Amino acid sequence: MKIWSSEHVFYHPWETVSQAAWRKYPNPMNPSVIGVDVVERSVLPTGKIVSDRILTTEWGLPGWVVSLVGMNPTCHVKEKSEVDIENKTLTLNSVNLTLKNLITIDEKLVYMPHPTIKDA
């Protein structure tokens, strides 16, 4: 079930936007992400770069919430990314590993040049 979708135009070249997205963690503006571990990274015969990473987060949930759902305050997310330099696309797919028995959060981000606006 898809609940939410949005689109945003960044007025910068694709190379700048994709590098920023790739390097978004660690980030002092979002201290909830406390670790990023690369599980696997490779270059496919097509030239695409694919990576699997595990992000470790601490959201600072109230103790009663942690007790109610019976969870550890540290949560994990699996991120799979694909960089296609030839077609100028960066695709990030993330899914929660923690609390999957209660809820699944599946996020897909695609960064590509705007079809009609130069450097956007």
Per-residue pLDDT tens listing for the chain (120 residues): 778 889 999 999 999 999 999 888 888 888 889 999 999 999 999 999 999 999 999 877 788 877 887 778 788 999 999 999 999 999 999 999 988 888 898 999 999 999 898 877
DSSP state of 69: H
Asked if 78 and 52 touch (Cβ cutoff 8 Å), the reply is yes
Q: What is the pTM of this model?
A: 0.85
Instruction: Say whether 80 sits in a helix, a strand or coil.
Output: strand
Asked if 112 and 99 touch (Cβ cutoff 8 Å), the reply is no
Two tokens, residue 97: 């590993």
pLDDT score for 41:
97
pLDDT score for 37:
96
Half-sphere exposure of 24 (CA within 13 A, CB side): 11
Two tokens, residue 91: 């695709």
